[in-house]
Every structure is written in structure tokens, then in C-alpha cells.
Amino acid sequence: MTKTIRLTAAQAMVKYIAAQHTSDGVPFIAGCWAIFGHGNVAGLGEALFHAKDSLTTYRGHNEQTMAHAAIAYSKQLGRSRAMMVTSSIGPGATNMVTAAALAHVNRLPVLLVPGDVFANRGPDPVLQQIEDFHDGTVSANDVFKPVSRYFDRITRPEQLVTALPRAFRTMTDPAECGPVTLAFCQDVQAEAFDYPESFFEVKVWHPRRIRPDTGELSRAVALLRAAKRPVIVAGGGVHYSAATDALRRFAETHNIPVTETQAGKSALPWDHPLNLGPIGVTGGQPANDACAKADLVLGIGTRFQDFTTGSWGLFANPVRKIVSLNMQAYDAEKHGALPVLCDARVGIEEMSAALGSYKAGGDAAASKADWFGKVDPLTDAPTDSNALATDMQVVGAVQHAATVDTVVMCAAGTMPGELHKLWKSTRPMSYHMEYGFSCMGYEIAGAMGIKMAQPDRDVICFAGDGTYMMANSEMATAAMLGVSFTVVVTDNRGYGCINRLQMGTGGAEFNNLLAHSTGGQNSAIDFAAHAAAMGATAVHVASVSELEEALAKRAGVKGPYVIVIDTDPYPSTPHGGTWWDVGVPEVSTRAEVRAARAAYDQNKTDQRID
């Protein structure tokens, strides 16, 4: 007879989660972020209380940013571990949808467990319930379906026996990896069931490394052998597969230059002779020039986002071919690419062996020297002490203060473009950019998640004033937990990045900078005082030199450390970059818009849709 243990569904979920381990012998779910409400406090709340020794619960201040912290934790650890986030029903749940979308776009695991309606429908409709007039099975949690890699609604306690293994299979499978949502009906959380004891035995989830199909591999190798000017596009999959050393050996063995996406940056040291640096809209001239001339583009672990491809106008060689080495068939076959469906590390190694002594021609040294000769001076401290600092100069100050243990991170606004171009990464996973969803508000919570994942790293977060205002509440959580990281707030008094895009498409400055917004002249935000009020150590600096002095003190600060500096919203790095498809009006009374539309039409002629 099968031995059973009688538990509530919530207790069973928590017990099962604690028993799921990585091949390193630690729990795959490193902790649970929770804000309790009437959809989860009585069931999951009670279960988590009794599991404090096996599954730590952290209390945050916003469901979205708790999930951001969890996602950043997993990203920094290369998807080897994840975290759980639970919320009440209704607004607590829907607050997490943005984070679910972020995880989905970036292929990152997170376990979301929002409370749900009563399965028995006795008190229907409950407080905060969304009612669909035509479908009685719908709740607010249905909005998670398009942004979850696996979605389930737990309406009976025994359903956990099938739902939970599916959830962990999804989160640990490199091909399917992404957010899992288990909508947990609140009455079911409290219901008991006799679960098999075997269900709670420790299970080890071993990382899967899929080898390439021999036919796909041989076809890819044949294309490479015929190529005279191949180039590699290294994406985030290089990091998640722990393939950075394999990539370096492959590039060196076959003399193929490497370009880096936002997610792939730091795959090679910035000064490696074959690292041409950043690619695409936020890229540099060495990488973009090589990609424009390449007759073969080898994508490794990239989903070929429009910022990478210049909206598919960058790879301009009329005879160019694309080979896409990826775990995801969806990504590997984009835009007519020849797919090689496999793990990045294994695929690189087997491709290299099959290529044998093949070496591409070319030397990247001259283009790199020219590039750094142009952009390095932009990061120097200003000579005019009265001038507002530029974002490039702020990047330079942080670069001077960085150590081998520094991780710089960001997500949205001006800094992703400047950092992609200018930041000099020295080791893998030292550059943490959420640019798949480019979600304002990820930064502060994400910095906390990175530091929790790797306490020995020196985490420096770049946040504009706009993104700071979007989501700053986990600053108080970090202070409460004593999690130490540095936030450099660049205050340009508005949305400077989008203001420049508005001007670049011929539009008048409108509703982006505070000065051009209704009532904006009345805004006077003291970011240092605000951060200090939440428990951070905070200072406002008046110059780049003062910023450098403040950065030098960060090692002695316990908890979050916020440095605020006023910056000029207009300058950006004038070198590098490529076209980005942003629709410009066909009809306008503004001459600037008409001129921008003419340029847009010309650029569209170079866009390839094959």
C-alpha cells in the first residue's frame, strides 16, 4: 500500500518546492517573496510560516518589484536557481503580470503563485474578483496566460501531483525556460488531501545539454567553410549555457570575430582581440561594420531582437546567410536562418571539431583602436566645472571605480545604450542588462536580487530619475534586509532618452522632460532625501569628481547606497549605432517630421524581411 501524508494543498506545495534541488545539492527555489492578502494569507501564509527553515520567506513592498528581484536573482546565476513569488487575488496578482512578461521575453525562470477565486464558487463574487459576463471560469489570473511558459489553475488539491512537476520541468528546461504561473484557488489552499510520501522525496534537476542534429550541424559547417567574412552574434544563451570559455576557444581557433548583444555582453573580455563589442542600435562601429559586410552571421543564443539586427537592416551583404544556434526552435528559425537546435556550449564545441583547421581572414585590431579613440574621450571628466555632467561622463566615473568583482546593471532609459557602447566588461556576468523587455522599475529591485544571488559581488545600479520614480519601494526592503548595493541616480529631470527619440523623429519636445510637461515646472524632487527616508545611505553630488569621491566610499556602506547627480538630458554618444524602425508620420505640418519621414522611407529600402 502506498504510504501517504495528509496535508493541505498549500502545505503540500511548499513541502514539494523545498525538496526540488539543483545538481549542486541546493534547493532550486532559493526563497519566496510574499505579500499576503485574503487570497493567500490563510493558506500559503500558514504553510510558509511552518517552512521557515527550508524555504525562506521575504516580505516586499510591491508585487511587481518582488518578482523583478526574483528574476534578477535567477538571471545573475545563469538560470541555475529561481525564486517563488506569491500574491493575493486581484490587484496583487495583476501587479505581477509585467514581471511575468519580463521573464517571458528574457527566457528566465520564476514561480508565480497568485491567489485565485474560490473553486467552489460559494461566496462568488469575492472581494477583488474580476467577473467575465460570458465565461464563468475566467479570473484576473487569466491575464498571466500569454506571459507564462506554463500556466495552471489549481482547483483541487490533488492537481498538484501533476502541476508541480510540470512547473519545475518548465523552469529547469533550457528550451522551455520561463515564468510559471500556478493560480491557486484560495479555498483549495486550505483543503487537505492524502498525498503519496514519494511525492516529497528530494528530486535533483540536472541541467540538460542537447547535442545538435548531425544534419543541421553538417549544413551549418558547410556554410561556415564557404564563408569569407563570418561574424558571431553572442546572445544571452552563451551565459546561460556557461559557454563563454567555449566561445573564446571557438573564436580563437577559427579567427571569427564576436559581437555582443545586450544580453551577451561580457561573454568575452572587452579587450579580447576578437571581441568587436556591442552590436546594433546601441552598438559600436567595429561590430556594426563587420555585420554589414558579413557573408555569414552565426547567432549563438540570441533571439535576434530588432535592436540587435537594426530592425533587419544591419546585415546588408546581399549574399549573407544566417546560422542560428539556439535551444529554442522558435528563435533558431527566425528570418530564414539555418537552425542548429542545441545547447550553446555543446554546439560550439561540436561545430569547432567539425570545422577542423578552418580559419576566417581579417583583423579587427584597427577598427577597435579607431572606435576607442573616438569614444574614450567622451567618458573623461568635464573640464568645465559648471557644466552638467553627461551620461557618458557618469559611465566613465563608475568605470574608474569598478573592480573585477563589479556587476553593473540597468534596464531602461538612456543608460542601456551608453553602457552597451562604453562599458568595458572584464569577466562573464559582470554586465547585467534587462533589455529584452527594457522595463522601467526593474533596476532597484533587480540590484537587490543580484546582490542576494552573489553577495560577494560589487553591484552598481544605474537608474534615471524617471525609472527611480517608477518603482523604488524595494529600496526599503533592501535597507530592512541589509542588502548592500550602489544606485547611481542620473537626474535629467524627465525622460531624456525618449525626448531625444522624439526629437530624432522630427517631433517637438513634448511631455517627456518635466520642463515640457503640464505643470512640470513645479516639480522639485529630492531623490537623496527620499532614498534616505527609506533607510538608504544617500548623497547628492554636484560634479563628476564628487561622484568619484562618493563611489570610493561604497565599500564601507551597509545596505543600499544612493548617489544622485544632475545630468544633461541632451548629449549621447554620437558614434556607432544603426537604424531602428520607429514609425514616423507620413503627414505632418512640421517640416522636421517631413524630413524625418523622408529619411525613414530611405532606410526602409534597406530593411530585409527574408
> HSE (CB half, 13 Å, CA atoms) of 215?
0
Torsion, Cα of 499, 505, 506, 510 (10° steps): -30
Instruction: Give the three-class secondary structure for 497.
Output: helix
Distance CA 345, CA 351 (A): 10
pLDDT for residue 386 is more than 90: no
Q: How many CB atoms lie within 10 A of CB 493?
A: 18
Pairing of strands 321-326, 296-300: parallel
Average pLDDT, integer, range 553-579 = 97
The DSSP secondary-structure symbol of 481 reads H
Q: pLDDT grade, residue 1 (50/70/90)?
A: confident
Burial status of residue 228 (CB atoms within 10 A of its CB: 0-12, 13-18, 19 or more): exposed
Angle CA(135)–CA(138)–CA(144) in degrees, nearest 5?
Answer: 145
pLDDT digits (tens, 9 = 90+) for 188-211: 999 999 999 999 999 999 989 999
Distance CA 103, CA 25 (A): 25
Distance CA 252, CA 274 (A): 7
Domains and their CATH numbers in the chain? 4-205 (3.40.50.970), 214-369 (3.40.50.1220), 380-566 (3.40.50.970)
The DSSP secondary-structure symbol of 521 reads G
pLDDT of residue 298: 98
Q: What percent of the chain has pLDDT over 70?
A: 100
Distance CA 334, CA 338 (A): 9
pLDDT of residue 364: 73
pLDDT for residue 385 is more than 80: no
Kindly state the cell numbers that stand for 379: 567618458
Q: pLDDT grade, residue 363 (50/70/90)?
A: confident
pLDDT of residue 573: 96
Task: Say which residues have a Cβ less than 8 Å from residue 548's Cβ, sequence separation at least 6.
Answer: 381, 397, 400, 401
Kindly state the cell numbers that stand for 428: 562573464
pLDDT digits (tens, 9 = 90+) for 223-260: 999 999 999 999 999 999 999 999 999 999 999 999 99
pLDDT digits (tens, 9 = 90+) for 410-438: 999 999 999 999 999 999 999 999 999 99
Nearest Cα neighbor of 580 from 557, 596, 561 is 596
pLDDT of residue 12: 98
pLDDT digits (tens, 9 = 90+) for 137-162: 999 999 999 999 999 999 999 999 99
Distance CA 351, CA 293 (A): 23
pLDDT of residue 359: 95
pLDDT of residue 365: 74
Element (H, E) at 237: helix 236-240
Mean pLDDT estimate for the chain: 96
- Chain center to CA of 94: 20
Distance CA 69, CA 443 (A): 9
Instruction: Determine the residue type at 479.
Output: A
